[in-house]
Every structure is written in structure tokens, then in C-alpha cells.
Amino acid sequence: MADQIKIMILSGVREQGKDMFAVQVNDEIFVLDAGLKYPDSSLFGIDVVIPDLNFFEQYGDKVAGIFLTHGHADSIGALPYILRKYDIPVFGSELTIELAKIEVKRENKKIKNHLFNVIDADTEIDFKNASISFFHTTHSIPDSLGIVVHTPAGEIVYTGDFKFDPTADPMYRTDMDRLAEIETKGVLALLSDSSNAESWYPSVSEQDIAHYVTDVFRNAKGRIIVAAKASNLNRVQEVITAAAVTGRRVLLTGRDLAKIVRTAMDLGYLDIPDGLLMRVKDLKTVPDDKTVILETGRMGEPLNSLQKMANKRHSMIRIHENDLVFIATTPSHAVETMVAETSDMVYRAGGRVIELGRDKHTSGHATGRDLQMLIDILKPKFLFPVIGEYRLMEIHRDLAIKTGMDKNNIFISHNGESYDYDFKQERFFLSAPVPGEDIMIDGSGVGDVGNIVLRDREILSDDGIFIAVVTIDRKKKKIIAQPQVTSRGFVYIKANHQLMRDAVELIKTTIANNFEHKKFDWTELKQDIRNDLEKFLYKQTNRRPVVLPVVMEVNQNRHRIAQKKAGEAEQDEKATKRPKNTKNRSPRHKTNNSNKAGKKVADKEDKE
């Protein structure tokens, strides 16, 4: 059988987060990352978004394993939903696997530990049709790895999130020698991080950031409240080190931090001096100028907590005079407005704000120069820009062309696209698509919220809801009770009595017309009421609320049956009462009458 090589873009292009890609070699599929993304403001009420799980429904029997690059949610966040239904082996570094278990256990109390396999940068796994190896990369979390799929046509390299920083701690440093070794074997295709492609200036080294954090701590006069992502262990270590250097103690807060810190400490990825950490009750005894509060969580969670602190709604902490709020991560575009709003609240509460992203150019992702350097080192035949919005992928392509790559060998892909490799022509061609839609998670529901529900939520947020309730008798074709109307988020009812009265009259007219001109149908009646109300309300207010007609029917048969039963019960009661009275009185009355009759006969005989 001729060899088959396919690259499948399952998720993670033309967007930020939700990374998941796959490489198929003959009848084996190797899935690279399984992440989620956090929703923007347009996804009302959605908790997270994950890749299309239908891929595993269709191809699950061919999937040899899921290979993880690092322990951030954009790489491991979809695992709980995949492993809930499919028993697929998962491979990752020691820290990545431990964080993946925490993520899975949050959604599934019982996890299948036998599915998790710990590997390192020196591991090479042989499968039937291909082998998988790894290499160290630099990111904001230790033990990050790139993945290499060894195929008959050459190496397929997936970087995951990465950057180059020669000054990084050894546990964070990219293995340049390993990259050079991979190049000698011939790189067929490179799937490379595009998240920071538009940044041309180099990111500040982590050593410089560590010094900067220490200086911020040293100059602060009161408490320091640090907002950071729980999974950014590099930043957490810098905060802990700065606190130790400046003689401060640290209070850890946030839903995810305790488990992540404990896991990282156990594995030796965090160095926390004895006596540095404190408990909530210690806030009363430790002076403000010796206190650091590290508030962490997912994406916007630290900012939400800061807002509660500023508005005096936090359960433990309130921002007061001389407090310094240090936002220690560079916010994404999705939360920039939230950062500005939070800063305003902090200043109103008497504190002040320092943002790391404003003072230092830092990112956990490769700059444009880093991307070009990687292409120069690996010399790939084909490039697939991934992990980034469309403009970033386009910029990545332009950067690659400047290094000498043929523009025809660079693919700007869509989620759900699949590319087959033609061995004769030595090219990739677009082939049959694979599942690539978004699956939205709302509460415990997986995929039960679609575009129609989101559209309704958007309308509700814009124009509110208008509810009309009416009771009819369809056999007599008349309205039994006066229609009742109400609204929420649409108009203030007390100030719009005439609008409500007119809406009631319109409902009556619509129902009368429906009875007169149409054969009765519940769906048509509700649709007529909805359509007429929508037109009327838009004409009166220029707004389009969600119109919800509730039509109820009087059950005449049930009413007649109830009346009949009541009548029968009344008759039974009367019939039952008569025999009882006769039985009680009859013997005495009969005896008395007999005596009287006998006496009269005796008297008559005596007279005769």
C-alpha cells in the first residue's frame, strides 16, 4: 500500500487559542494538542469553546494518541471533554501531564490514569507507521515541548507556543542543538506559532523582567496585589522571588493557584522559601509594607477579583489607600477594555495600578524575528502558520517569503481543512474536509448552545423580551380571558401603558383574523401573533425585542366532565341521605301508627 500523509487543521487557526491539529500517516492519526479558548463578549453566557468532538466520533479508531506541548488551557483544556467519552492515550512532559490531570479532574471526578503517559525531550515513541519525538521550547511555563512526527517523506514539526530567549532559565530554554539535528533529517512541513508575528521588536528577557518586578516591589509603600494567570509559573516564580528579596510575605488566592503551585513545588519547578507563604488570618498581623497578595485564575478571573476588591464586594480583601495593584501579565485584546475598567475602579478605591505590559514588551510567543530564525534553522519545504488570528497568519507568511520560502508552499488554512501529500508531485493538496466547528460549553451542557441560541441571547441583551399570554377556546373560536402582556429589558411598563393596551388590542385582532381566515394550527397562530407584534413594536419603538407568545387553551371536555362528576356526586349524596333517614325513623313510626289504628278499631267495637 502506498504511503499516505495528511495534515489536518482541526482548530486553532484564524483565532487565538483552541489549538488542535493532527497528522495522519497511513492508518494512524497523531493529534497535536487539545486546547480550548475563552469566549469574547459576543458569546453571551458561554464558559469556554472547544474543538469539534465529531472528529473523534469519525476517526477515533485511528487516533494513536494526543500529544501535548505544554500545560496551558489553550493546549490541554479540551481533554476533559474528549476523555469523557474516548479512551485515547495522552502524552506530555511531567508537569504538563500533572496539570492535564488537574484539568480533567475538574470536569470528571474519576480520571483514567492509565491513559496518561509522561515523556521528555529525549523520548522517541515508535508507532506502526511513524515515530514521535520532542524538543525543548521556551514559553511562560516549564517543560514546554515541540513535537516532531517522523514520516516517510520527512519530518513534520509542530512548535506549540514558543519563543527564543537565550537568557531564560535552563528549564525554559529552547534546545537549539536539537533543532539543528532535526533540520539534517529534512523538514517536510512546519506548523508554527503565529500569535506574536506582528511584533518586530524583541521581547524583554525574563531576567530583565525579574529585575523589573523586584524594583516595583522595592518601591511600593503599602500592600502589593498582583494579578496574574495561575498557569504562568514563570511569572509566579518572579513574584515569589521579588517578595523574598524585599522581605515580604505572600498570600496565595485564586481558585486554580493552590493546586498548580503545590504540583509545581512537588515537581521542583517552583522555589518557595520556608515561611514566605502566609494565610488569610495573617493579614491582620503582617504589616501592609510586608504583604503581597497574589491573585490568580483563568483569563479574566484575576481582573474580576480586583473589581470586587475595589468595590468592597470581595470576601476577604478590600483595596484601600497606598495599595499597589500590579497587573503582571500582558492582557490579550479581548480583555484590554476590562483592564482599563479595572484600573479606573482601583484608582477610585484609593489604590494605584502598574501594568507590566505597558512598561515592558513581553510575550510568551515568538516575535517576527524569532519566526524567521526558526525557518532559517529548520529550512522547511512547506509552512502552515497556525495559532493566531488571520492577520497574524498573513504576517507570518510575509515573513517566511522574506526568508526565501516559495509563497506557493505556504498555506493559510481554515479550521476543518485537510491537506494530503502527493509523493509524486511532492506537494500538499487540499482534500476532503474534517470536522472543524466550534463546540460551546455553557455550564454542564456540551454543544447544546448553537448560533440560534446565541442570536437570541444577543437580541435579549440589546432589546429585551416581550411576553404575551392569552387563553382561547378554539372550538368556539373566541378569546376566553383578556390577553396579558409584560416585558423585561424592553420598556418601562408604568410609563408605557398605551403601548401595552395597543399591543393587547393587536393580539385580539390577530387571533380573530386567524380564526376567521385559517384552519386552526397552534404553530401558525403563535407565528401570526409574533410577526404582528414584532412589526408593531418596531414601528412604535424602533427596537426588536424577543417576542414570546404563550397561547393556552380552555379544555371544555375537561370542564364538562368535571361538571358531570360534580352533579353525579350531588345526586349520590341526596340518594344516600334518604335511605338513612327512613331507616332511623321507620320502626318507631310504624309501631305508633299500628297502635293508634288498633285503638280506633277497639273503640268502634265497644260502641257497637
Over range 345-350, report the average pLDDT: 94
Is 497 annotated to bind ligand? no
pLDDT digits (tens, 9 = 90+) for 288-310: 999 999 987 665 567 888 888 99
Give the whole-angstrom CA distance, residue 305 versus residue 295.
8
Q: What is the pLDDT of residue 351?
A: 94
Q: What is the pLDDT of residue 602?
A: 45
Cβ count near 555 (within 10 Å): 11
Is 388 annotated to bind ligand? no
Hey, what's the torsion of the CAs at 282, 288, 291, 295, to 10 degrees? Answer: 90
The band of 518, judged by pLDDT with boundaries at 50, 70 and 90, is confident
Q: What is the pLDDT of residue 595?
A: 45
Which DSSP state fits 388? Answer: B
pLDDT digits (tens, 9 = 90+) for 53-102: 999 999 999 999 999 999 999 999 999 999 988 999 999 999 999 999 98
Over range 248-258, report the average pLDDT: 81
Cell numbers that stand for 79 in this block = 481533554
Cell numbers that stand for 489 in this block = 429589558
- Among residues of the chain, what percentage have pLDDT more than 90? 54
Burial 228-246 (b: 16+ CB within 10 A, else e): bbbbbbbbbbbbbbbbbeb
Give the whole-angstrom CA distance, residue 133 versus residue 485.
66
Over range 11-18, report the average pLDDT: 92
The three-class DSSP label of residue 29 is strand
Give the whole-angstrom CA distance, residue 225 versus residue 324.
6
Cβ contact 83:108 at 8 Å: yes
pLDDT exceeds cutoff 60 at 601: no
Give CA 507 to chain center in angstroms. 40
pLDDT exceeds cutoff 60 at 598: no
pLDDT exceeds cutoff 90 at 261: no
The more confident residue out of 284 and 441 is 284
The band of 455, judged by pLDDT with boundaries at 50, 70 and 90, is low
C-alpha dist (Å) from residue 470 to 481, 546, 554 = 7, 17, 11
Continuous segment of H or E residues that includes residue 155: strand 154-158
Over range 472-477, report the average pLDDT: 82
Over range 597-608, report the average pLDDT: 45
Nearest to 430 by CA among 445, 417, 415: 417
pLDDT digits (tens, 9 = 90+) for 182-231: 999 999 999 999 999 998 877 788 889 999 999 999 999 999 999 888 78
Q: What is the pLDDT of residue 225?
A: 95
Is 586 annotated to bind ligand? no
The band of 441, judged by pLDDT with boundaries at 50, 70 and 90, is confident
What is the number of residues in the chain?
608
Phi, psi of 519 (to 5 degrees): -75, 135
The band of 557, judged by pLDDT with boundaries at 50, 70 and 90, is low
Domains of the chain from N-terminus onward: 5-201+363-446 (3.60.15.10), 206-359 (3.40.50.10710), 464-556 (3.10.20.580)
Is 136 annotated to bind ligand? no
- In the sheet that holds 439-442, the strands lie side by side as 48-50, 439-442, 445-446
Q: What is the pLDDT of residue 183?
A: 97
Which DSSP state fits 300? Answer: T
Q: List CB contacts of 294: < 8 A, sequence separation 6 or more.
A: 226, 228, 236, 239, 250, 251, 252, 253, 254, 257
Q: What is the pLDDT of residue 160?
A: 95
Burial of residue 270 (CB within 10 Å: 0-12, 13-18, 19+) is middle
pLDDT exceeds cutoff 90 at 565: no
Query: Per DSSP, what are the bridge partners of residue 551?
Result: 470
Burial 583-606 (b: 16+ CB within 10 A, else e): eeeeeeeeeeeeeeeeeeeeeeee
Query: Per DSSP, what are the bridge partners of residue 439?
Result: 50
pLDDT exceeds cutoff 70 at 258: yes
Cell numbers that stand for 335 in this block = 480583555
Query: Measured on CA atoms in the order 27, 32, 34, 37, is the torsion positive or negative?
Result: negative
Task: Look at strands 277-278 and 187-193 and give their pairing.
Answer: unpaired
pLDDT exceeds cutoff 70 at 570: no
The band of 606, judged by pLDDT with boundaries at 50, 70 and 90, is very low
Cβ count near 281 (within 10 Å): 7
Q: What is the pLDDT of residue 590?
A: 43
Q: List CB contacts of 306: < 8 A, sequence separation 6 or more.
A: 225, 227, 295, 319, 325, 342, 345, 346
Provide long-range contacts, Cβ within 8 A and 24+ apart, for 17-22.
17/73, 17/74, 18/49, 18/50, 18/51, 18/74, 18/78, 18/438, 19/74, 19/75, 19/160, 19/386, 19/387, 20/51, 20/78, 21/158, 21/191, 21/386, 22/55, 22/63, 22/434
pLDDT exceeds cutoff 70 at 318: yes
Give the whole-angstrom CA distance, residue 387 versus residue 191.
9
C-alpha dist (Å) from residue 314 to 16, 406, 427 = 31, 56, 58
pLDDT digits (tens, 9 = 90+) for 127-156: 999 999 999 999 989 999 999 999 999 999
Extract the runs of DSSP E, i.e. beta strands, from 12-138. 20-25, 28-32, 48-50, 63-67, 90-92, 116-118, 124-126, 131-136
In the chain, the amino acid numbered 147 is: I
Phi, psi of 82 (to 5 degrees): -75, -50
Q: What is the largest CA-CA distance in the chain?
A: 155
Continuous segment of H or E residues that includes residue 461: helix 451-463
In the chain, the amino acid numbered 51 is: P
Q: End-to-end alpha-carbon separation of the chain, Å?
A: 140
In the chain, the amino acid numbered 587 is: P
Query: Per DSSP, what are the bridge partners of residue 127?
Result: none
Is 362 annotated to bind ligand? yes
